[in-house]
Amino acid sequence: AQKITQTQPGMFVQEKEAVTLDCTYDTSDPSYGLFWYKQPSSGEMIFLIYQGSYDQQNATEGRYSLNFQKARKSANLVISASQLGDSAMYFCAMREDTGRRALTFGSGTRLQVQP
């Protein structure tokens, strides 16, 4: 069964606008972490933001915020004030704290920021 689902293969956004990248997850583990990574065309995987399942507040890191809706099992990434350098693949990932304690990744969303 798909544990991490990213339903948007590609997204376009105008420079300086905000964009939301969707991520839903499936787990029965009460303790887990959710992560977003950015992969630019150069290929490296860059950690952006983390949300723990017990965190009361939504995580924020600069222009990145994570809209965590636990009951809906969604962990959407919001990028505010998009920049041309934000054009990249974005991966949502989950780590379950029991069992296999390594990241499982979604299929990714390709974001293109247009001037």
Partner 1 sequence: DAGVIQSPRHEVTEMGQEVTLRCKPISGHNSLFWYRQTMMRGLELLIYFNNNVPIDDSGMPEDRFSAKMPNASFSTLKIQPSEPRDSAVYFCASSLTIGNTIYFGEGSWLTVV
Interface with partner 1, residue 90, by CB under 8 A: no
Q: What single DSSP character describes residue 80?
A: -
Which has the closest alpha carbon to 37: 98, 115, 107, 96? 107
Q: Under the criterion CB under 8 A, does residue 105 sit at the interface with partner 1?
A: yes
Contact yes or no for 6/22 (Cβ under 8 A): yes
1 near partner 1, judged by CB under 8 A? no
Is there binding between residue 68 and partner 1 (CB under 8 A)? no
Closer to partner 1 at the Cβ: 59 or 82? 59
Between 64 and 105, whose beta carbon lies closer to partner 1?
105
* Residue corresponding to tokens 């590609």: 10
β-strands 104-105, 74-79: how paired? unpaired
| CA gap 110, 9 in Å, rounded | 6
Q: Which range, of 16-24, 55-63, 70-78, 105-113, touches partner 1 by CB under 8 A? A: 105-113
By the criterion CB under 8 A, which residues form the site for partner 1? 33, 35, 37, 43-47, 50, 91, 95, 97, 100-108
